[in-house]
Amino acid sequence: MNTQRIENLIKYMLAVASQNEDWKRRELGPIHIIKYLYLADMYYAKESGGDTYTGIDWEFYHFGPWNLALYRDEIPNAVQNIGAIERTFPSQYTNDAVRWSIKDILPDEVTKELPIKIYPLLNRDIKRFSSDTYDLLHYVYVTPPMTNARPGEKLQFRSVVVPKEEKVETFENKTTTRGKKKRKERIISIREKIKQRKANKKTIIPTPPRYDEVFLNGVMEMNNDFSLEEMEDHKGILQISQSAWSKDWRKDCDLP
């Protein structure tokens, strides 16, 4: 785990968040910082053969990426070292919730300390989600390192590696003048045929539906046919197989 790199990333996160027009979104909490650090590692791994930037040993914990030492030691030390402003407030989940912000530091002042493969994408994410926990978590949960792992497993970043483009041999175009002329004639002919088809195509105007008495009676009859009896309450334990974590449904980014 590279402490200096983590510190630089957190400084950049808070600097970007401080530029938000909505003052309520200029602070980040531990959960936000952890997820943005994870995203920074994922973006770096795409072009680094699966190696992460921070060296954090990420684990699938509960529903997201996690590292206990990061949460307990690295983040508190980092925000203190960069002079972040801390605000605590009561929370229903813990004794006190904490948020950090930073002043007088612009994002551009920190980018020179970060790889270019990270900060443009991280900048985009922070501006998009900021401290919006729900949307940020959903975005993180459907990333490849998460959807390719099960709870308790170490996260692997090989799944995001961008394959190197294969070299494609190019050949000089040796098309003759005569061949070019024939090709041009064919294109003109095809365009004329398409134009002619559009001109001959008849426009069909659909007949609007009639919401009369017959229609309403039919809807009522259908509703009566499909009426269901009220379901009884049942108590029990629902067990889901661990194999569900390996199914392709988890890779559907449109899931709620």
Q: Where are the domains of the chain?
A: 3-160
Quick check: helix, strand or coil at residue 42? helix
Dist. CA 187–CA 181, nearest whole Å: 10
Q: Helices marked H in 130-200 — which ranges?
A: 133-141, 144-147, 177-200
Q: What is the mean pLDDT of residues 133-161?
A: 93
Which of left, alpha, beta for 67 (phi over 0: left; psi -120 to 50: alpha)? beta
Q: Which of 21, 31, 26, 30 is nearest to 101 (CA)?
A: 26
Is residue 30 within 8 Å of 97, Cβ to Cβ? no
Q: Residues for the chain: how many in total?
A: 256
Q: Which of 164, 155, 165 is nearest to 41 (CA)?
A: 155
Instruction: Write the pLDDT tens digit of every residue in 16-73.
Output: 999 998 988 999 999 999 999 999 999 999 999 999 999 999 999 988 999 999 999 9
Report pLDDT for 203: 64
Report pLDDT for 183: 78
Is residue 56 within 8 Å of 70, Cβ to Cβ? yes
Report pLDDT for 248: 67
Which helix H or strand E contains 100, and what residues bound it? strand 96-101
Kindly compute the dihedral angle of the four CA atoms of residues 17, 19, 23, 26, in this order, to the nearest 10 degrees.
10
Dist. CA 175–CA 20, nearest whole Å: 57
Predicted structure pTM score: 0.69
Q: Does residue 79 or residue 166 have the better pLDDT?
A: 79
Report pLDDT for 218: 78
Instruction: Write the pLDDT tens digit of every residue in 202-234.
Output: 666 667 777 777 777 777 777 666 555 666 787
Q: Is the pLDDT of residue 184 over 60?
A: yes
Report pLDDT for 128: 95
Range of weakest confidence among 120-124, 143-147, 181-185, 246-250:
246-250
Q: What is the mean pLDDT of residues 123-139?
A: 94
Q: Is the pLDDT of residue 187 over 90?
A: no
Token pair of 187 as six digits: 């294109």
